[in-house]
Structure 1
C-alpha cells in the first residue's frame, strides 16, 4: 500500500524517519493530464466536465472575491481582449479562468481545474482562432467579469454556462473527436495558414 501511495506521489518515504503525506499543489495536479488522456476524452466530454465545475466556481468567486482577486481577473480580461497572437490569447484565456478559480477560495476546485488545464488550452487555441466561435450575443469574458464584479451570482453562473455551451453549438464534427486529435489537426491548419501568408508576403516583395 505504501509503495502504491508513493508511486502516486501522495506520500514521501524517508528511510529511518517514516512515511509522510506529501503536500499537493496545482502544479502536481497536471500529472493527472496523462490519466485523463488515456481515456481519450472528446471535446464534448471536456465541455461537459467543465460545465458543473466552472459554473459553481464562478458562483463562489462572485461571493468570495477580494478587491485583489477582481484586479487580477480584470488584468486577465484586458490581456485577453487586447491579444492578437493566438497563443498569447489562449494563455490569457487560461489565466482568466484560473483567476476565477483562485477567487472561489476553494483549493479543491482550483486543483480540479488545473488538472484539465492542458486540454483546456488546446481547446482555447481553437476557440480563439476560429471566427465561428464568436457567436453574437453570447456572453464572453467581459460579460462574465462584469457579473462577478457586480456580485451577481446568478448572472455570473448563467453567463459562464452560456459561454461554455457555445462550444456545443459551434464545434460541429469536432465535438466528438478526441481532444488530442482536434488540437493536432487545428495546429496543423494554423501552421498551413502561416506558410501561405509567408509565401504570399514573399511574392509581394519580389
Structure 2
C-alpha cells in the first residue's frame, strides 16, 4: 500500500507548488481530492493527471491535444533540479505529518475523581461547553478526555478520527445529512474529515478518544 495523502498533507504540499506529482503507489483521500479542486491544484501520478482540468500525458490508445498537453515525464515537473527539490520537500512534509504523535508511549492511569473539566475556549459565545484531555501526545498516540454540553451546540470540523462514549444525559451529533441521538451507554464514531455539530438539548457528559493524539494541531 502506498502513502496516503490527506487534505492536511496536500495543503502543505500546495504551499510549494500548485502542480504536484505523486509516486505511482500514492493514495489520495477523498477530502484531499476535494481540497485540490477547491484550491485549483493539479495532481499527477506518473503520466496521468488525476486532478485537474485536462488529462496530461498520452494514455494508451488516446490522442493528445497539443494545446492541452503538459510535459510530464516519470513524475517530473520542470527541470531535474526543481523535481529533486520538490521531492525532498514533499518527503520532509510527509515525515513530519506521518510521524507518531508520541515517540515514547507509556501506560498511564488517570484518577477520574481528580479530573476537572474546563470551559472550552473554542466554543461559540454563550455556549456552555466543557472539555479536558486526560491522555495526550505526551504519553500516547491516541488522546482521550471528557466533554460536557449544557443546553449548548458546538459546530466543529474533525481533521482526525474520534470515538465518543456517552456517560450521562442526551447527546446529539449532526454529521452531513444525518442526526444521531445518543444516551448513556451509547457509542458513536466520527471519521476524519467530518463537518459536525455536537449538542445537547439538556446536559450530557461524554468520554472521547481521538487519533492522532495531537488532534488540536489539525484544527483549522
TM-score w.r.t. structure 2 length?
A: 0.22
Question: Which is richer in strand?
Answer: 2
Higher relative contact order (CA 8 A, sep 6+): 1
Structure whose CA Rg is larger: 2
